[in-house]
Amino acid sequence: MRPVFRHSSRHSLALYRYCLPFRQPLMFKGKWLASREGLAVFINGQWGEIAPLPGFSLETLAEAEAESLACMAALKRGEKVSPALASVQFGFDCAQRSWPASLAVLEPPYPLLQGAPAELMASLSATHWQTSPPTRLKLKVARYAMEEELALIEQLGERLPTTKLILDANSGWTREEAQRFCERLTLEQIDYLEEPCAAFTDTIAVAEATGVAIALDETLSRQEKWYCHPQLRALVIKPTLIGSLSACEALVQRARACHLRVVISSSFESDLGLGLLARLACEWAPNEPPGLDTGNWLTEHVMNPVGEVKTDSLHRLY
């Protein structure tokens, strides 16, 4: 994935808004979304994306748009800008970054499964995975009845015995619920469980009680305290939610100091944002498959096949 990020416009500063439909409505923190909305920012030859994710980002798109417009006006006046909102920090950092001249070849992303367990099992029957199973598969959990999700995991183990599962609970359980779930797992089948509980202390307690390996995700985005632990295996870094690229790099360095895996992960950005995240993954974690398999859920793109942002199809704000 090596986007060119060309710009067909004459403007050295520009801000656009996009709205891309999902293939089917998706649930985020209990709310259904039919489309993904965000902003594309262009600064002196480079692009960034600003896409707060409802239910996960602290800011709304309207707030991100207002701050982005203020920052663009400040840049026009020749001032330096320091956005306060995470999504705006990410977009402006990417659009003003000194990118490496060459990048490592990135491992292919692992597939993402989310949806009703019964529907997922029906769709699995139609895939090629039986003949060419992925080494890892990510599955969203803590969204449907626990018994249904456990039955799906058991069937995945039977159909894909060589595939390790990454389970992502998005902080959806209490400590008791998470422990009850993990006690039913075949741990050899699980690569790790992301964020079973909202509190880090609860997540660690579940890991110690059940032996499950864990990874942190929302804890990092919320900038909450955490520490190294023998059952902590990975940091799942979502730059568009964390914001500042220097803050992301600090997490990468801390992960290396703790001998943790680093997974660069997406938050349902457009193909522009996914391309930027892929470049960061090449730089920060080239040997770890990234969590960037969210583009398949979008029916439209903001870039054309030669790497140009299709500005004519976007709404220009600045």
Annotated binding residues for Mg(2+): 168, 194, 217
Backbone angles phi, psi at 18, to 5 degrees: -125, 160
CA distance 317 to 64: 12
Q: Which residue type occupies 226?
A: W
- Alpha-carbon distance of 120 to 136, in angstroms, equals 16
238 is catalytic: yes
User: Strands, E, within 29-105: which ranges?
Assistant: 31-43, 46-50
DSSP state of 12: S
140 is catalytic: yes
Q: How far apart are CA 303 and CA 287, in angstroms?
A: 27
**Residue among 29, 80, 238, 310 flagged as catalytic:** 238
Structure tokens at 258: 């703790």
Torsion angles phi and psi, residue 189, rounded to 5 = -85, -15
Q: Is the dihedral of CA 85, 61, 217, 303 positive or negative?
A: negative
Cα Rg of the chain (Å, integer): 20
Instruction: Tell me which of 140, 164, 225, 310 is the catalytic residue.
Output: 140
Is residue 292 exposed (0-12), middle (13-18) or buried (19+ Cβ within 10 Å)?
buried
Can you say which residues are annotated as belonging to the binding site?
Answer: 168, 194, 217
Q: Which residues pair with 81 in a beta bridge?
A: none
Catalytic residues: 140, 238
